Amino acid sequence: MGSRASTLLREEEIEEIKKETGFSHSQITRLYSRFTSLDKGENGTLSREDFQRIPELAINPLGDRIINAFFPEGEDQVNFRGFMRTLAHFRPIEDNEKNKDHTASEPLNSRTNKLLFAFRLYDLDRDDKISRDELLQVLRMMVGVNISDEQLGSIADRTIQEADTNGDNCISFNEFIKVLEKVDVEQKMSIRFLH
């Protein structure tokens, strides 16, 4: 928020990010100052360690997966654009956006994209399917240590059963969408970003 931040971030960049993600100018500068405060190495990119240094993420059961979501395939550093691109998924859907027709490029914070973000948290190997294994991994992370493997296994089976329509014992993205159709994903996966 200070002047230091905005001088390092050029106006054109802000405009581009604004167009791509839909954040407002002040939101972008604010998030940029957060980005720089996380960037201990001061090289304009964040690595995994920078994220892991955030203490609250250490006590989040899915902390590692969340951090992972910021890094595209195979990369170890994320720049500010990538950072904002990931965060854009969590922008609340404004009313005026709800009625827009689906243009060629869907906004990053559409319901589908939010669900895709959640889906990718499960689906590590990016094969567009949540296998039982992957589901179990996430379940195990979310649940205390008192649950035995069999119990967890049957929970996972039930989860897949509820979603799986084509019987391949995996959850595809469409099945995932269908399961959550009654859930208010737009509200659940949104953060009110500070101005």
Partner 1 sequence: MATSVLSAAASGASCLLLVLLLCCSAGQCGLQKSNPTPPPLHNDINKPQTYPEEQRDSLPVFTMDYPRIQIPFEVTLWVLLASFAKIGFHIYQKITIWIPEPCLLIAIGLIVGGIMHAVKEEPPAVLSSTAFFLYMLPPIALDSGYFMPTRPFFENMGTVLWFAVVGTLWNSIGIGLSLFAICQFEVFGVQDINLQENLLFASIIAAVDPVAVLNVFEDLGVNEQIYIVIFGEGLFNDVVNVVLYNMFAFLSQMPVVESSDVFLGVARFFVVGIGGLFFGLLFGFVAAFTTRFTHNVRQIEPLFIFMYSYMAYLVAELFTISSVLAIITCAITMKYYVEENVSQRSCTTIRHVIKLMATISETLIFFFLGVVTITTDHEWNWAYILFTLVFAFVWRGMGILVLTQIINPFRTIHFTFKDQFGLAYGGLRGAICFALVFTLPDTINRKKLFVTASIAIIIFTVFLQGISIRPIVEYMNIRRTNKDPNTIAVEIHTRMMEHVVSGIEDLCGQWSRHYWKDKFKKFNDRILRRVLLRDNKAEHCIVSLYKKLELQHAIELMDTPMGDLSAAPSIISLDDERKEATRSMKTFLAADVRKMHEILSKNMYKIRHKRLAYTNKYRLPDNSQTREIMIRHHARIQRNRRAESFRERSQSNILGSQKDFSLQPGGDPASAFALRRRSHVKDKVVSARSSSSSLVPMRRLNIIKELSSAVELPSSSGVNLLDERGRTAPVPAPRRHSTNRSDEDGDPGDHPGEELVQPPQLPPPQAWVPDSRENELGNPLLRHQSQGSGGSGRS
Instruction: Answer yes or no whether residue 158 interacts with partner 1 by CB under 8 A.
Output: yes
How many Cα atoms within 13 Å fall on the side-chain side of residue 135?
22
The least distance separating partner 1 from the CB of residue 164, rounded to whole angstroms, comes to 9
Q: Which is nearer to partner 1, 8 or 194 (CB)?
A: 194
Report the site for partner 1 in 96-155 (rule: CB under 8 A).
117-118, 121-122, 124-125, 132-133, 136-149, 151-152, 154-155
Instruction: Answer yes or no whether residue 56 interacts with partner 1 by CB under 8 A.
Output: yes
Instruction: Answer yes or no whether residue 177 interacts with partner 1 by CB under 8 A.
Output: no
Report the site for partner 1 in 57-86 (rule: CB under 8 A).
57-68, 71, 73-74
Instruction: Answer yes or no whether residue 14 interacts with partner 1 by CB under 8 A.
Output: no
Q: Which is nearer to partner 1, 11 or 56 (CB)?
A: 56
- From CA 55, how far away is CA 71, in angstroms rounded? 19
Q: Which is nearer to partner 1, 19 or 192 (CB)?
A: 192
Contact stretch for partner 1 (CB under 8 A) within 6-14, 18-26, 39-47, 97-105 = 39-47
Q: Which is nearer to partner 1, 104 or 145 (CB)?
A: 145
* Count of CB atoms situated within 10 Å of the CB of 4: 10
- Of the candidates 17, 28, 31, 108, which one interacts with partner 1 according to CB under 8 A? 31
How many Cα atoms within 13 Å fall on the side-chain side of residue 92?
9
Whether 62 and 95 have beta carbons less than 8 Å apart is answered as no
How many residues contact partner 1, by CB under 8 A? 78
Q: Which is nearer to partner 1, 128 or 157 (CB)?
A: 157
Whether 164 and 170 have beta carbons less than 8 Å apart is answered as yes
Question: What CA–CA distances, in Å, run from 191 to 13, 28, 49, 59, 187?
Answer: 23, 14, 24, 19, 8
Torsion over CA: 181, 184, 129, 147 (sign)? negative
* Count of CB atoms situated within 10 Å of the CB of 192: 8
- From CA 53, how far away is CA 38, in angstroms rounded? 8
Contact stretch for partner 1 (CB under 8 A) within 14-22, 54-62, 93-101, 102-110 = 54-62
